[in-house]
A and B are shown apart, each in its own frame.
Chain A
Amino acid sequence: MQLDLKTIEALAPDQASLGAAAKLTKRSNWPRLETNEQFGLIWGECQGSGSNPYRVAFDTRDHGYKCTCPSRKFPCKHILGLMWIGATAPASFDRVDQTPEWVNDWLGRRRKPGQPPMQAPASSEGKSIDEAERPEQSAPVEDAAAAERREAAQRKRAEDTRSAVSAALDELDQWIADQLRLGLAGFVDSCSERCRRIAARLVDLKATALAGRIDELPARLMALRSEEKPDAAIRELGKLVVLAKAWRAAPDDAELKRLVSTSETRDQILGNPDAVQVESDWEVLGEKIETRRDGLVSHATWLLDLKSPTPRFAVLLDFFPASAGRRSGAFAPGDRFKARLVFYPSRNPLRALVAERLGDAAPGNWPAFAPDATCDPLAAYAAFQDGAPWLSDCPIILPAGAIALDEKDGAWWQAASDPHGIALPVAGSVSQTLLGLDLAATAALWNGARLELLASQSSIGRLDLS
């Protein structure tokens, strides 16, 4: 590895980036650090502020780099951090012969392979490694009166927010009543415009999470057949009524606050002693990437706990601006890894953060927890709704079955042995190949109207369906 601190200093876009990178040089921030000396590559996974670690790679021969974080600084602090470790503690990198697929993908896409090293900026003026390494000056000690003023201000802000959200929910209630009075046929027809208006009001009144959900309602309705839309509208508006009532009953409830106004930060979740923590082997079932109307891309990575006796899921949820372009995730469907996850407090804990990566897990089949034919495949969904009737997407494991087509070529999942006569409509179109395969078990998201397939186990192995 031919890296020195002067190169890092020269490549850094500004002093602030160097300062931020200095904080990332602790080994504990990097669950994985590897190098392939033959190819002059170093790469790693850095735990940033998202739920997924960022994948960071650097080519020491030509100073090319890649990071999956959404930063608009190039190179970002993660790249600088990786280089910094490479320059000062090369022994931290595990030496491997094979480069992982995501590094190969990046190398393959690079525009000018084999070019000589990029010329560093003409000077390192205004940037200093020494400055970045210097410990930050500690904040002046706050006197008791100032602390009290700050806390009072915080309480005031919280009270103001609560009042604003309460007013937002009053407006939402009135809006829902208006939709019923005017008729859902009209609502379905002009859903986009009506939802946009109330969502804007909710944003003004600090109910931002709720606004985002209502903004997505038109897209959910659009995906359905016209005869299904009124039922879907009743279902979603009814859930909003329940959510509003639940928040009024418990405005400090963490889950309800997250669904109505704002979410906790990563540090708050990791520092929460009541947050559920699960150390296990996890398989990446699939990904769901959606561009939202507010310009953000939501990237959900669904995981299955491979050691749990009953199906247990987790979802790693990240948001980044659509303008940042396509962003690859830290995991690919089918990946298996050992990790300690911390779940956001919830009645049905699903959203989680990777607190610690503990290496790779062995490949294999899912545990045999798929319910047998006598069980109701939607029993898990009913229990999920009992706990949190305001939620929609529920991950489930379906028993042995297959995909069949209706007269309009719509796809349905149908149980192989079907005492309940249940068939569930599948969202979107499916691969023709899937229609000829027997599915031993299927992981999917059920929202009461459509099944979104994530992955299946079959006689020819795992099928990635997301």
Chain B
Amino acid sequence: MNELEQAGLARLRDGWISGGAMFEIAPVAWKEVAAASSPDEQERRLLAIAAQALDVALRPAAPKSLKRRPPLPVLALPTLPERLRPLLRAALKYAADARLKTRVATLVASRGFVLHPMDWMPAASYQESPDVYAPWVDWQAGADGEKQSRREHLTAETWDDFYPAARRTALVDLRRTMPALARTLIETKGASEPAEVRLALIELMRFGLGADDVPFLKSLSADRSGKVREMAGRLLARLGERGPIDGGTDDPTAELAAFIEEGKSGFIRRRTTYAPIKIKSPAQQARRADLFVSCYFRDLASHFGKTESDFIGAWQFGVDDSADLFLVRMVSVSGSDVAVACLADLLVAAGGKLALLVLQLMLRLDGGRKRVLIRQILNDAQNLAALNLVEGADAGWLEWGDLTKGKTISALRSAVSGDNDVTKRSAEQYLEAIGFLANPVTAEKLIGEVVATGLPPASPSLSLLRLNAALAENPSKSDR
């Protein structure tokens, strides 16, 4: 179409928009084709020509400011094979929320694959995605297109080349392997960051926390942010150091100790016990709760002249459930690693509902103790719902014997074969949780077991177990 025709088309278009006969202003060549005896027919013919011109001769004008996103980074693991994607999509569809979908991604990552980005993408705001997805998290967060999170080593020089998620992952790795180097980086680069970022960086000090970190953590007592000072204090408390405590001149630890009474038990070997006193009012209850949050566990144990482990051993669990919960949370936040391990072992050994208090210690527990807890939960089979509360558990290690030793299998069997829909739905959730924890052999056997009991073989609740079993050729790293 030449320029004259383009201009003619524009005139026709404008004319028709407002209405009326446009034949006279049409390009000459078009008028020759469109000439007819009736004015209406002439207009229709012109309309047909204009339609064809718009369709074929004109192209959409591309805006000059079209922007492309940076290429989606290639991850360190290969994409899940195409043949397994239907199983994966079924598992993702059944997973009810972002946390459960992330768990599917974690299982697949433990078997050496990442998900196809059109099947699942980690949300920019969600930090629990497997580390391998850090480049995608940063890509999602909306990079400006110039930074590249491809530096292999995090140093003061490359600090700005890392996006936040990738930097976090690199710092965690560094804290585990070279904690001093990571601390120096947090110290030097963190100082210029805003309080929110500083707090997130200091929180990473919990990985590989050691005595060498004490001077730096103590230096944070002068930090501008109260939250940073509080975090540093808790970390120091874990190391057996007294951290700075904000507040008045009264001794809050002594006030908290007043809520605990010392006693004796045993006839031959008299031993000291500690139990919460009976609370008389809601105000007292609230004050005690505040004190458990603001005091450090080591200070409390010291107040009674005990080591952390001795105090835990002497605590009378079961006297006051809420006091038990506050104490466990206190240990989780400010107890030493030894205290956390001692408390976790004691609670798991006690079993029943006390074992579930270990869920409060999740952030501090190593993989081994989490496995012990999971085995305990399965063994009891009283509270299988707690399986979903075990944060950060390893994927793909649970053995068939772990299920058959206790009452889990019989509980699942009776739930699946029974008539109670609520129990059935719960059982399906447990199957999903076990689908994450099980090794491929266990997954395969469990599917056979529940299907034989009456669960439809194609039940969506089996989808994660099926994916797990299908990934049998790639055992989880945690299972190797």
Instruction: State the A residues within 8 Å of B (CB).
Output: 38-39, 99, 101, 103-105, 107-108, 110, 113-114, 173-174, 176-177, 180-186, 230-231, 234-239, 241-242, 245, 363, 378, 381-382, 385, 389, 402-407, 412, 414, 420-425, 431-438, 448-449, 460-461, 463-464
Contacts and interface: CB of A to CB of B under 8 A. Distances in A.
Given A231-B13, A238-B47, A449-B60, A433 B19 contact: no
A464 B460 contact: no
B18 interface: yes
B392 interface: no
Interface residues of B, number: 51
A377 to B, nearest CB: 10
A183 B47 contact: no
7 contacts: A108-B458, A114-B455, A173-B41, A405-B66, A405-B67, A412-B66, A432-B140
A182 B19 contact: yes
B44 A177 contact: yes
A166 B13 CA distance: 29
A236 to B, nearest CB: 8
A238 B48 CA distance: 4
Nearest to B457: A39
A181 B457 CA distance: 66
A435 B68 contact: yes
Interface string B453-480: 0111111100000000000000000000
A422 B458 contact: no
B118 A464 contact: yes
Most buried by A among B56, B62, B459: B62
Contact of A436 (B20, B22, B72, B90): B72
B441 interface: no
Contacts of B48: 238-239, 241-242, 245
Contacts of B69: 405, 432, 435-436
A114 B421 CA distance: 12
A424 B66 contact: no
A394 to B, nearest CB: 10
Nearest to A106: B458
B52 interface: yes
Contacts of A424: 60
Contacts of A245: 48
A186 B19 contact: yes
B17 interface: yes
Contacts of A433: 72, 117-118, 121
Contacts of A382: 56
Contact of A103 (B18, B21, B49, B458): B458
Contacts of B226: none
Contacts of B55: 235, 385, 389, 448
B71 interface: yes
Nearest to A229: B17
Interface string B37-63: 000110111011111101110011011
Q: Which 4 residue pairs of A and B lie closest in terms of their CB atoms, listed nearest first?
A: A238-B51, A183-B19, A423-B62, A436-B72
A452 to B, nearest CB: 14
Contacts of A183: 16-20
A107 B457 contact: yes
A104 B116 contact: no
Contact of B62 (A108, A363, A378, A421): A421
Contacts of B140: 432
A107 B466 CA distance: 15
Contacts of A105: 458
A407 B20 contact: no
B54 A414 contact: no
Contacts of B22: 180
A213 B118 CA distance: 34
Contacts of B196: none
B86 interface: yes
Contact of B54 (A182, A242, A448, A464): A448
Given A177-B40, A235-B54, 20 more contacts: A107-B457, A107-B458, A108-B459, A113-B455, A180-B43, A180-B44, A181-B21, A182-B19, A234-B47, A378-B59, A382-B56, A412-B63, A422-B62, A423-B60, A423-B66, A433-B117, A435-B69, A436-B69, A460-B79, A463-B118
A433 B71 CA distance: 10
Contact of B45 (A235, A241, A460): A241
A104 B457 CA distance: 8
Contact of A185 (B17, B47, B118): B17
A436 B137 CA distance: 13
